[in-house]
Amino acid sequence: MNRPCPCHSGAPFAECCEPRLSGLRPAETAQALMRSRYTAFCEGAIEYLVTTHHSTSRGTTEHTDIARSIAATDWLNLVILDTQKGGLNDTKGTVTFAAAFRPKPPRTGDLGQMHERSHFIRDAGAWVYTNGEQLGPYRPGRNDPCWCGSDRKAKRCHG
C-alpha cells in the first residue's frame, strides 16, 4: 500500500518516514527527524519517539506520557516553517513548525495548533530531539494555505 506519508511531505510513506520508523534509514537531517517524529505520533510509534528523544531530556514517565498523548490526539497536518542548520554536516539544528490536531473521539474539542521551535543535536551520529519552545499562534498570510490542512486559503478557513 503506497499511502501518502502522514508528515505531509507529498512523498509516499514507504519512501519518506516509514524507513526511519523501522530503523532501515535513519534521518539524515534534523528536518527529516522532525518529520519522522510527527509521523511517529500519527502512527503510534512510541519506542521511536522515546529513542529519538535525547536521553538527558527524557522524563522518567516519558513512555506513559507519549502513549497517553497518542491515545488522546489525532494529528491532522504539519507545516514546516523554518529550518536552521541540521544538515548533513551539522551537529545541531532547529526546525520551526505548526501542527494541527484534534482530540481523538470519543472526546470532543476544537481544532488545536502546536507552534514550536524544536532543537535537535547529532548524538553518536544520529539526530535526536532535545527540547522545544512553544511559540504564539502561527498565522499564515491571508492567501496562503491554512495551517489546518484543509487546502483552503487561510482567509477562508482558520485565518
Q: Please report, as ranges, the residues that interact with Zn ion according to CB under 5 A.
A: 5, 7, 9, 16-17, 35, 146, 148, 150, 157-158
Residue 56 beta carbon to Zn ion: minimum distance, rounded to whole angstroms: 27
| C-beta of 79 vs 128, nearer to Zn ion | 79
How many CA atoms lie less than 13 Å away from 5 in the CB half-sphere?
A: 23
Residue 13 beta carbon to Zn ion: minimum distance, rounded to whole angstroms: 7
Q: How distant, in Å, are the alpha carbons of 4, 15, 36, 153 from that of 11?
A: 6, 7, 13, 22
- Nearest Cα neighbor of 101 from 113, 88, 89 is 113
Residue 60 beta carbon to Zn ion: minimum distance, rounded to whole angstroms: 30
- The per-residue b/e assignment along 41-57, b for 16 or more CB within 10 angstroms, e otherwise, is bbbebbebbeebbeeee
Gyration radius of the chain's alpha carbons: 16
| C-beta of 47 vs 133, nearer to Zn ion | 47
Residue 24 beta carbon to Zn ion: minimum distance, rounded to whole angstroms: 14
| C-beta of 65 vs 103, nearer to Zn ion | 103
Q: DSSP 3-state assignment of 153?
A: strand
| C-beta of 13 vs 53, nearer to Zn ion | 13
